[in-house]
Amino acid sequence: MSNDPQTRERVRALVREVLQTALPMEDDASQAAASTGPVTNAQPQQSTLTPARIAPSDAVAPVVDTQQESPVARDESAKKVITETDMRGLEAGARLRIAEDARLTPLAADIVREKGIELVRRTPRRGSQKTKLIAVGADHGGFLMKEELRGFLGELGHHVRDFGTYSTDAVDYPDFAHQVARAVADTEVDVGIIIDGAGVGSCITANKVPGVRAAACYSIDVARNSREHNDANVLTLGSKTITAQEMREIVRAWLATEISEERHRKRVTKMTAIERQYTR
């Protein structure tokens, strides 16, 4: 830069002008973001609630990302609106998982504030809903198909966390199904896929873990239905009931389908409510 005093003064004046005009615009943007719909990041100062029907942002606890290690007390991420009923039974300081775009009713927001409830928003990993972190597991009967599955998931652009088994030596399928289910329930991964001889035993085991909705699928139609209607987060397959090509088609359809209609979300919410009756 030139050492000429007039040049330096013009640069300083330009910087002052930029700062004076930029800062108000940033403030306006922050206010606009706070008055609109859901917030996807984890800033306590920003509102996660809409005006009029929903309490202001300073009335609730900070919303954090689902990448945290500590477990949540309850998962209500299938709901679009969180009410005071969803808060019942939560202890002070508990962590509640909610959907990325979920809203809280005023009474629910009051309970969050009074009890210091920590809201954990389920957000897409790596900035894309298309790319998933997938837990895979299998017993000795599903080992070979699991190895092929791993390669196929890589071809689709997904990331894999392999919980074993790692050979055809005889093992017990509940051990591996449990590990995959726990990873899904604790949001260490997005979804899970488990393979054993028939797919039934692993499905039963996985569904013992609160927060897991496992589906044993033997066709593309069933796979799509389990996601669109039931929001299944674990897929189980039987290596003795389907071919490698059928496995690819089922997995592709299952991963490409999402729950969408509110009537399906309502029914999944009822599943969660039933589960809660037996896990308190």
78-113 tens-digit pLDDT: 777 888 888 888 889 888 888 777 788 888 888 999
Is 156 inside any structural domain?
yes
> CA-CA distance, 102 to 99, in Å (whole number)?
5
Which is nearest to 103 in space by CA: 59, 150, 151, 47? 47
Q: Are 109 and 235 within one domain?
A: no
Q: What's residue 128's pLDDT?
A: 38
Structure tokens at 137: 């597991």
Average model confidence (pLDDT) across the chain:
79
What's residue 165's pLDDT? Answer: 96
Same domain, 75 and 134: no
**Whole-number Å distance between alpha carbons of 224 and 257:** 6
In this prediction, residues 251-276 reach a mean pLDDT of: 89
**130-147 residue pLDDT tens:** 789 999 999 999 999 999
Q: What is the percent of the chain where pLDDT is above 90?
A: 47
Nearest to 205 by CA among 276, 137, 254, 105: 137
Does residue 27 register a pLDDT over 50? no
Bridge partners of 245, per DSSP, are none
Please count the structural domains in the chain.
2
Distances (CA, A) of 175 to 23, 196, 225: 56, 12, 27
Judge whether 160 lies within some domain.
yes
The reply to whether 29 falls in a domain is: no
Position 61 pLDDT exceeds 50:
no
Three-state DSSP at 22 gives helix
Q: pLDDT for 163-181, tens place per residue?
A: 999 999 999 999 999 999 9
Residue 19 has pLDDT above 70, yes or no: no
Contact 61, 119 (CB under 8 A): yes
Choose the final residue of a domain: 74, 95, 123. 123
Asked if residue 269 has pLDDT above 50, the reply is yes
Contact 173, 139 (CB under 8 A): yes
Residue 124 is predicted with a pLDDT of: 45
- Residue 229 is a catalytic residue: yes
Candidates 140, 159, 178, 229; catalytic one = 229
| Residue 194 β-bridge partners | 137, 236
pLDDT at 9: 74
Helices (DSSP H) in 45-142: which residue ranges?
106-115
Residue 247 per-residue DSSP state: H
Highest mean pLDDT, choosing among 7-21, 44-58, 224-238: 224-238
Q: Is the dihedral of CA 149, 150, 152, 153 positive or negative?
A: positive
Domain that holds residue 69: 38-123
Say if 30 falls within a structural domain.
no
Residue 31 makes CB contacts below 8 A (sequence gap 6+) with none
